[in-house]
């Protein structure tokens, strides 16, 4: 099935601030034939996002960041700071790759010598329109670390470096618990041998 198998009856903007919330009334074609009843859904409508995992194939090290996340706080988690990879909203007129390069510099202080697309995915398709373009970027991790971010945007970001094996352990222990970070680190663990052969 595709978009033509959905009938939008009505949409309304409920809130338009830092995020936009819209209410939709729609029906969709059923796998067994016919149409669903009218469904009422509130959807968080977000612009596309790009994310990049800065990786040093010579040292087999990943650049990670940690910052306060309001969503984690609202969920009641005992730790409201999230260990993640670099990510941000793609600005008008900007490509996903350009955003990945810009955001890596702003959030981690890293200059990537190249970026390569991994995949696109929806982190929460049941209630959010956000689609993430995921990249890996080649960096040198020598001297990387410290506090970064754009102060005018309220960013206070701790930057640190871990081996790929340690990053995988951080997933297994729940330290890295955001979907973008988990997907990126697991992809890297599966593909690092090829990347290291390519660059070392």
| Residues 14 and 21: beta-carbon distance below 8 Å | yes
Q: Which of 61, 153, 162, 194 is catalytic?
A: 153
Provide the token pair at 200: 């070392």
Active-site annotation holds for 153 = yes
What CA–CA distances, in Å, run from 156 to 37, 43, 69?
Answer: 46, 29, 11
Tokens of 41: 């859904």
Beta bridge partners of 13: 22
Beta-strand pair 61-68/49-56: antiparallel
Q: Which residues are catalytic?
A: 153
């Amino acid at each position: 099935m595709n978009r033509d198998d959905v009938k939008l009856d009505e949409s309304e903007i409920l809130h338009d601030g830092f995020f936009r919330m819209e209410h939709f009334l729609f029906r969709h074609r059923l796998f067994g034939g016919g149409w669903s009843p009218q469904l009422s859904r509130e959807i968080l409508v977000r612009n596309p996002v790009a994310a990049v995992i800065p990786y040093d194939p010579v040292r087999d090290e990943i650049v990670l960041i940690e910052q306060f996340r309001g969503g984690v706080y609202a969920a009641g988690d005992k730790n409201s700071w999230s260990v993640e990879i670099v990510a941000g909203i793609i600005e008008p007129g900007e490509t996903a790759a350009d955003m990945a390069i810009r955001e890596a510099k702003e959030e981690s202080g890293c200059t990537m010598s190249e970026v390569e697309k991994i995949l696109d995915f929806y982190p929460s398709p049941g209630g959010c329109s956000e689609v993430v373009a995921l990249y890996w970027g080649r960096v040198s991790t020598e001297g990387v670390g410290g506090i970064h971010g754009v102060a005018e945007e309220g960013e206070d970001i701790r930057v640190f470096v871990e081996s790929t094996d340690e990053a995988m352990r951080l997933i297994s222990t729940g330290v890295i618990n955001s979907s973008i970070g988990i997907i990126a680190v697991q992809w890297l663990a599966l593909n690092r041998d090829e990347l290291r052969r390519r660059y070392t």
